[in-house]
Structure formats: C-alpha cells, structure tokens
Chains A and B, each alone.
Chain A
Amino acid sequence: MISVHRKVSAIKTLFALGMAGILTLSACSPATPSSTPAPTQAPASATVPSAIANACPQKGVKELTGAGATFPYPLYSKMFSEYNTLCGVRVNYQSIGSGGGIAQLQKRTVDFGASDGVMSDQQKQQAQGGPVLHIPIVAGAEAVIFNLPGVQRSQLKMTPDVLADIYLKKITKWNDAKITALNPGVNLPNMDIAVVHRSDGSGTTFIFTNYLSKVSKEWSDKVGFATSVKWPGDIGGQGNEGVANQVKQIPGAIGYVEMAYASQNNLTWAQMRNKVGKYLDPSLEGAAQAADVASLPDNMEIVITDSDNPNAYPITGFTWLLVYENQADAAKADAVARLAWWMTHDAQKYAAALEYAPLKGVAATKAENLVKGIKINGQPVLK
C-alpha cells in the first residue's frame, strides 16, 4: 500500500502539473489582432472608406483632448458620447471659447482645437506645430432678435445696410424712414433703438461682424471683424443668454444670437435680405444652402456670410476643427484623423436634431479632402 505521505505528494504533483498545463494552454490562445486592419476596410484607392470599423483609432489611442468654441459644444458633446459608445475612446472636449482653443492648439497641449473663426496670420505664426488645417464640421445661422411691442417673429424685415447703420448708431429710432420703408404694414413706434452686443469675445461675434464688414464699407473701416471688437454702442451681454436677456427686457432693443438658441427659447427674430434680394428666416436649410456654393476654397478658410447661393441665409458661418497638418505622433495622428473623418461623415446625422446644418455637396467634399490631408512623416494618415 502507498503510504499517506506518498499519496499526498502524488496529489500535489498532479495538481501542480495540472495547473501548469492549464496556464500554458491559456497562454497559447491566439492574441487579439491589434494592428491588423479589420476585414471590412476597403483597399487603399479612390473609393471612400466610410465603414464604421474605420472610425475607431487603430493604434491603441484611448483618449483624445480638444478645446475650443462654445457654439458647437452641444453637438460635439453628443458626437463624442456616441464616439465613446462606438469605439471606447474618450474624447475630452473643453468648451473654453475659440480663443482658448486656438491658444491651446498653438501650445500643443491639446490634440485638436475648435473655432468659429479663422485663425489670423499672427495666430498661425504662433502655432508651434506648423500649418493648421481648418476642417469645417457644421454650419450655423445667427438670428437678429428684437423687442418691439406688438411685432411678432418674422414680421420685421431687415436689410444688410440698415442693420449695419443700426449697429453703427447712425439709425437711432425705430420709426426711421429706412426701416419703415422696408416694413410698410408694421407699427414702428418712435422708440430709441437699444443696440445689444456680446461683451465676451466669441465666434458668434466673429461671424456677425464679418457679415457687417462685407455689407458695409463704413463698418469695415471703422470697426472690422474679430471675436471681440470696439462696438459703437450700446450694451454688452454675457453669452447668448446675456444678449437674449437684455433684448427681452429692454423695449426697443436689437441683438444677435445663435439660431439654435433663438429657436429653442422662442425669441422674436427678423427676416434678413440675402444677396439676391430674398427675405429669409434663419433656418437649418438657409444655413446649409449658404455653405453649398461652388466658390469654396480648398483650405475652407472662408466665412460664408453673405453667401452667393440664392437660398442662403446671409448670416451663417462654419465651425471648424483645427488640426495640425503635420502630426508628430503616429498613434495620435491616426486617432485624430479617424475622429475627424467620422465627424465629417457618419456623425453628421446628429447635427440636424440639434439645429446645426450638416455639410453637403462641395463643402462635404472639401472637408473630406482636408481630412485626407492630415499627414505623418510626410505621408497621409488615411490612405
């Protein structure tokens, strides 16, 4: 008979052998492919690879950081949350304003920036990583809101030169001849026009002042356009909410806010005359039409205010994703390029519900080309 001691030893040995066997077998299981491309990826060629599998970073990047404009924040919030569900990648976006986003991109503390305004030459020079691509994501319209007792939304018609003169404080009363000529049926009282603008710098101001600069030489000479300008008058409000509040409270006030904000808060807006003479309400369709023009430059650094398109709403602008053309890190380059691709293609479906105009036609093609222009070591990232 085998002694107890020997039985125990035998059991111990068998146990040890068994554990070793199990561990060895588990280590031999096939490794998950990390760098081999997913089978649904289309071969490198002129065909458009827009399958979902391509949207996710292929080089192990799990987190991206971006900073910039507040205007697209609701949309980016939605997009990045969907992206997280889709790819398990967390995109951390800080809506600190276009100026802040540009500054962070210049210093390369973020992977991408976002801005409602085109970078100035001075800002481009201060960008440490070289040339910056302006990739448009969506377009947004701005509403001209006003407060006149008894006048409802869309009942007031406004032309570019009258709007510029109001903001230049050359037209100071609502019953001025120029305004009554445009609005024959409307009861315009003998009230002072209280002009409200943004007190904080913002892309909304950039687009609005850019429009006024295009339609009024005097505005262009006296004031110019930027995220923050020297206003001829009167009152500044903090953010869209500040402007809307001031306009709502002061009888005879006029101001400008993002169309999405105006429509969600039931504000009274005016109809603007566009370049061909049509009077239009601010709308998604008007914004999309403004973006859909043949004369868009390849670098998309254009402010589409006063657009040539006959159905365009005149006060519209793009919001851009700012990305360095020549990326420094291969993994990050892959992640940023795929994110930008997804944002300009599959993620566009989230735009309309949040009242942003998605890219269409020429604008969409040019955006695509810009994303394809993101390079690493001189080679395009997305082939």
Chain B
Amino acid sequence: MAKARADIKPSSPNTAQVVLGFLGFRHAGTANWTDNLFFGFSRLFALAIIAMTIVLLVVLFQGADESIRKFGLGFLVGTDWNPVSEEFGTLPTVIGTLVISFVGLLLAIPVSLGTAVFIALYAPVRLRTPLSYLVEMLAAIPSVIYGLWGLFVLVPVIRMVQIWLKSHFGWFFLFSGPANYGTGVLAAGVMLAIMITPIITAISRDVIRAVPRSQIEAMYALGATKWETVWNVVLPYARGGIVGAAILGLGRAIGETMAVTMVGGNAFRLVTSVFDPVHSMASQIASEFTEATYSLYVSSLIYVGLVLFGITIVVNLLGQLLIWRMSKGRVTMLE
C-alpha cells in the first residue's frame, strides 16, 4: 500500500466520492481509491449472491404457503399425490430422488476416480490434455440431449440388462420389479452417473495432482509399487477433495430434471426395486407445473421445490462435515 505523501493533499469530496463513500468504498478520492473500489465491488457482488438466495427462499415460502398451511410437515411423509381429491405428499419423490442420485453416485465414483488417477498418474504426458478435454466435454452436453440419447439408446440396453439380471438374480429383492420397462431407477441412475462423471473426474484429478511429490517419492524410496503408492498414500491424502468432488456431483444429480424425466419412468410410487419406474422431485415439478389447474396444486408443487432446496442444502452440509472430518490439514479443494 502506498503511504500517503505529505505533499499530496486530498481535495474536498465531490458528489461521486460522497456517494461511493456512502456505499462503503472508503478513501474515495485518495491514492488508494481504486483498490477500495475493487474491494467494494467484489463485496457488493458477494452480498448480491447471498441476497439472491434469501430472495429465492422467501419466494419459495410465499408460493408454498397455501400448501404448507394445509399439510404442514405431514407433506414430507405423505405418500399420496391425488390432484382429484386434493391430497398431496412428497415421500415417494424424495425417496426416488435420493435413490437415483445415490445409484448414480455409486456407479460414477469408481469410473471417475479411475479416470482421474489414470489421467493424473498413469497417462503419458501428451495424452493428459486431450483426455481431460474429452471428459470435460461430457459436461458441456445439454441434459435434454442426454435425455433423448437415453430414451433411444440407453433404455433398450438397460432393458436387456434388466431382463438378464431378473432371469439370473430375480430372487434378490432389488431385482424383483418389472424388468421389461427399461425406464426406471437403473436407467436414471446410469444416466446420472454419466452426467456427473466429468465433474468428479475434473476435481479429483486436480486434487490428486496436488498431492505433494515428497510423499510419493518417499513411498517409492520404501520400495512400494505404483499401485501401493496410489492406494496407500495418494488416495488417502486426497480423500477430502475427492469426497468434495463427489458431493458436488451428488448436488448436480439431485437437481437433474430433463434427463430423469425422459428415462426415469415418471411413476409416483415408493420404489422397492431397481427396475421400478420412478419420479424425482425435479421431474415431477417439470411434468406437472404447466398444467397445475388450481392454486393448491401449484402451491404443492412449489412446496416440493422447497423440499428439494432443503434436501440439497442438507446434503451439501453433510458433505462439508464429512470433508472437514476427513481432511484436517490435508489437500482439499473446497475449504
């Protein structure tokens, strides 16, 4: 910071400086004022984002008001969605959302982690950039395109897989549903796995590359193989960051709308098997909002949106807690 020089006298403030001073930009008009202007603007934008979140919450509460007053917290455990008799509840869609997101995460983590480890540690240097680029391209594809591809390509494949699974492992409760639909939890889970892989891979790759070289060299010095190094040092060291990446991926999966609407089966029911058609909260809102014919119906859908918002926050908080407990001083991306 430049020290104020005795021979430079600040002139008396003009209107612009008074306004800026009022807005919190200190020292407007002095030699430091550009610095403070920058500080002021970045603070303004940060506050604007917080304000936007608060406004969003307020609007959601206002819209859901009628439904909250009628159903209260019982809405969260209600299992009926009947627009004719005006009974609404959201338990099946909450469970549906969480189930497909976790199935997606379960399928995505091994693939993403493997890809990240490969790109960061095993791939020849000249392959790193093209591979990273290709993986990140997957994130650029619009979800509607994923949905269309899923409907015409993925669903028939999943149907074949389901029929095979049912004929060999039909006794297992998870494989006891109708196998010939194709659309359902498995299809939606696979679709979400494909969609969240780029996020998890990109972040994990960066976290793995940030593991200190000294740790890795030390393992080699002790005679470890590459696999032992990765499994015993690199991954544990990068644990926090990888969990953070997984939480980000989960966040995207929970909110995914179009792709799930197209391959999920859109059935409002409590899922009991991996083959059941399912409604997620987002796909239900997207399907029914434009034709919700009376105000309680609209209000209930907004209530579902509020619940979705709440679940996303809870999942992210739990994820942050997990990261905090796991990392404690090690390499993370999100502290």
Contacts and interface: CB of A to CB of B under 8 A. Distances in A.
Contacts of A230: 80-85, 268
Nearest to B296: A122
Contacts of A228: 83, 288, 291-293, 297
B265 interface: yes
A246 interface: yes
Nearest to A195: B267
B183 interface: yes
Which of A126, A201, A223, A236 has the largest count of B CB atoms less than 10 A from its CB? Answer: A236
B179 to A, nearest CB: 10
A202 interface: yes
A224 B180 CA distance: 29
B266 A236 contact: yes
A365 interface: no
A276 B215 CA distance: 85
B151 interface: yes
A126 B283 CA distance: 28
A245 B84 contact: no
A156 to B, nearest CB: 19
Interface residues of A, number: 39
A51 B94 CA distance: 59
A90 B261 CA distance: 35
B178 A120 contact: no
A180 to B, nearest CB: 21
Given A120-B293, A123-B294, A201 B288 contact: yes
Contacts of B80: 230
Contacts of A246: 183
Contacts of B288: 199-201, 228
Contact of A237 (B156, B266, B291): B266
B108 to A, nearest CB: 25
A19 B261 CA distance: 71
Nearest to A205: B291
A192 interface: yes
B182 A100 contact: no
B155 interface: yes
Interface string A108-132: 0000000000001011001000000
Contacts of B297: 228
Interface in B175-200: 178, 180-183
A102 B293 contact: yes
Nearest to B155: A249
B267 A233 contact: yes
A140 interface: no
B186 to A, nearest CB: 14
Interface in A203-226: 223-226
A86 interface: no
Contacts of B159: 249-250
Given A199-B266, A245-B151, A246-B183, A194 B290 contact: no
- Max chain B CB contacts within 10 Å: which of A96, A97, A224, A238? A238
A252 interface: yes
Contact of A120 (B268, B283, B294): B294
A61 interface: no
B178 A234 contact: yes
Instruction: Give the interface size bracket for B toward A.
Output: 20 to 34
B151 A201 contact: no
Interface string A226-263: 11111101111110001001100111100000000000
A57 interface: no
A282 interface: no
A98 interface: yes
Nearest to B262: A238
B267 A201 contact: no
Contacts of B292: 99, 201, 228
Contacts of B287: 199-200, 236, 238
Most buried by B among A103, A228, A251: A228
Nearest to A233: B267
Contact of B84 (A192, A229, A234): A229
Contacts of A229: 82-84
B277 interface: yes
A194 B84 contact: no
B291 A99 contact: yes
A356 B181 CA distance: 33
A235 B267 contact: yes
A291 B34 CA distance: 76
B89 to A, nearest CB: 11
Interface in B279-313: 279, 283, 287-288, 290-295, 297
Given A201-B288, A236-B279, 4 more contacts: A194-B180, A199-B287, A202-B291, A234-B265
Pairs A-B, 6 closest by C-beta atoms: A201-B291, A236-B266, A199-B266, A224-B84, A99-B291, A230-B82
Interface of A: 96-100, 102-103, 120, 122-123, 126, 192, 194, 199-202, 223-231, 233-238, 242, 245-246, 249-252
26 contacts: A99-B290, A102-B293, A123-B293, A126-B294, A126-B295, A194-B178, A194-B181, A199-B261, A199-B287, A200-B288, A223-B84, A225-B84, A228-B83, A228-B291, A228-B292, A229-B84, A235-B181, A236-B265, A236-B266, A236-B267, A236-B277, A236-B279, A238-B266, A249-B182, A250-B180, A252-B180
